[in-house]
Amino acid sequence: MEINFTHHQSAHCENGVVSNLMKHNGFDVSEPMAFGIGSGLLFCYIPFLKVNHAPALTYRAMPGLIFKRFAKRVGIKIKREKFKNPETAKIRLDENLTKNNPVGLQVGVYNLVYFPDEYRFHFNAHNLVVYGKKDDTYLISDPVMETVTTLTEKELEKIRFAKGAFAPKGHMYYPIDFPKELDIKKAIVKGIKHTCRDMLAPVPIVGIKGIRMVAKLIRKWPKKKGVKVANHYLGQIVRMQEEIGTGGGGFRYIYAAFLQEAGKLLENDNLALLSTEMTEIGDSWRDFALDASRIYKNRSAKDDAYNNIASQLDELANREEAFFKKLKKAI
C-alpha cells in the first residue's frame, strides 16, 4: 500500500510535517507559515534536564505544540495517539495507511539509520511522515531529507520507542477534520501575539531573560566547572542551536520568512521591515555559534573568549527584546 503523497523538503522536521500533511489534504501552507502560526519560536534554558550530560536548551516550542497550536488557530482537528505496546502502535499505523491516511510520527534520531552518524544523538523530538508500506518496509517522507526513504518494521519500532528525555512512546498524529477555508489572517495574529508573549515573558529561563541567564552562566562556567566541562556545555549550546532540531539561528530565518509572508497577507509593511531585522538577528546567532565552536575546539584567537561570547549573547538579548516589542506593536 502506497499513498499518493508528495514529499517536500523543509528546513525543520515538525514544520515540514505540518506543511506536507496540509498540502496533501489540499491546503497550500508553507513551512514558515506553519511555524509562525504555531508559535514555534522560543528560547528556553532547562538546567534540570540533561541531554548528552549537559543542561538542555531549546530554541523552539516543545515537541508537538507547533501542530497543536496551528490546528487550533486555523480550525482543523487532529488526532494524537501514544502507546505502551509496540505491536499495538504498529497495528494502528497500518490501519491508517490502509485508509489512505499518511501519519506523522515523533521519533528518536539516535537509531535513525538513514541519518549520517554525526547527526545521530540521543534526541527524541524528530518528526517524519509514513505514507505507505511494502511487505515489511515502511515508506518514509522525512522533511529534512532531500528525497523519500524507507525503514523496516524493526527499524521504525526502535525509533518510535526510543528511551530517554521526551521518549516518543510510539507517538503518532494526523488531521481528521478540516474547515472549508482556513482562517489564516486571524491565525497569524494569534501566533505572533503568542510568540511575543513567550519571548518577553518575566521568567528567568524563558525568552529574553533565558538568553541573559545563559550569558551569565557562560562567564561563570570556566572557573566554577572547569574548562573541560565549560567547553562541553558550550558545545551543547551550539549543537542544540545548529545541529539538533531546535534550530536557533535557522529558526530566526524561518520566522523572518513567516513575517514576510504574513506582511503580504495582512497588507502590513511593518512586518516586512521586521522580517529583514530578524534575518540580521539570525546572522548574529550564527556568528555567536561560530565563535563558541572555536573555543570548545581550542581554536579561539580572542582573549577573554568566554566573556566575549557572553557579551554577544547579551547583545542578542537586547536586540531580540527590542524586536519583539516592535513586533507586538506592529500587529
- pLDDT tens digits, residue range 172-202? 999 999 999 999 999 999 999 999 999 999 9
Q: Are residues 146 and 253 in the same domain?
A: no
pLDDT at residue 119 is higher than 90 = no
Q: Are residues 124 and 158 in the same domain?
A: yes
pLDDT at residue 282 is higher than 90 = yes
Q: Are residues 221 and 272 in the same domain?
A: yes
Q: Are residues 221 and 319 in the same domain?
A: yes
Contact 279, 256 (CB under 8 A): yes
Q: Are residues 155 and 216 in the same domain?
A: no
Please tell me the predicted confidence (pLDDT) of residue 246.
54
Cα distances (angstroms) measured from residue 40 to each of 49, 78, 192, 229, 252: 20, 18, 10, 30, 10
154-159-163 Cα angle (round to 5): 120
Please tell me the predicted confidence (pLDDT) of residue 12.
86
Query: What is the pLDDT averaged over residues 68-91?
Result: 96
Q: Are residues 212 and 322 in the same domain?
A: yes
Q: Are residues 230 and 319 in the same domain?
A: yes
User: Which of 77-81, 245-249, 250-254 is the least confident region?
Assistant: 245-249
92 occurs within a structural domain: yes
Question: What mean pLDDT, rounded, does the chain reach?
Answer: 93
Residue 13 vs residue 137, higher pLDDT:
137
With cut-offs at 50, 70 and 90, classify the pLDDT of residue 244: low
Please tell me the predicted confidence (pLDDT) of residue 322.
98
Q: Which of 59, 25, 11 shows the shortest CA–CA distance to 39?
A: 59
Q: Are residues 259 and 127 in the same domain?
A: no
Q: Global pTM? A: 0.91
Rounded Cα gap, residues 129 and 141, in angstroms: 5
pLDDT at residue 55 is higher than 60 = yes
Please tell me the predicted confidence (pLDDT) of residue 240.
81
User: Which of 77-91, 135-149, 214-228, 240-254 is the least confident region?
Assistant: 240-254
Q: Are residues 315 and 203 in the same domain?
A: yes
With cut-offs at 50, 70 and 90, classify the pLDDT of residue 44: very high
Domains in the chain, number: 2
Last residue of a domain, one of 177, 204, 222: 177
157 occurs within a structural domain: yes
Q: Are residues 194 and 170 in the same domain?
A: no
With cut-offs at 50, 70 and 90, classify the pLDDT of residue 24: very high
Q: Which amino acid is at 291?
A: D
pLDDT at residue 213 is higher than 60 = yes
Please tell me the predicted confidence (pLDDT) of residue 248.
67
With cut-offs at 50, 70 and 90, classify the pLDDT of residue 102: very high
Q: Are residues 154 and 109 in the same domain?
A: yes
Please tell me the predicted confidence (pLDDT) of residue 152.
98
83 occurs within a structural domain: yes
Last residue of a domain, one of 147, 177, 207: 177
309 occurs within a structural domain: yes
Contact 145, 104 (CB under 8 A): no
Cell 502590513 locates to 268
Rounded Cα gap, residues 168 and 63, in angstroms: 10
Please tell me the predicted confidence (pLDDT) of residue 295.
92
Contact 171, 64 (CB under 8 A): yes
Last residue of a domain, one of 177, 196, 225: 177
Winning range, highest mean pLDDT, from 6-20, 58-72, 149-163, 286-300: 149-163
210 occurs within a structural domain: yes
165 occurs within a structural domain: yes
User: Which of 233-242, 299-308, 319-328 is the least confident region?
Assistant: 299-308
Q: Are residues 324 and 273 in the same domain?
A: yes
Q: Radius of gyration (Cα) for the chain, nearest Å?
A: 20
Structural domain of 115: 77-177
Contact 107, 173 (CB under 8 A): no
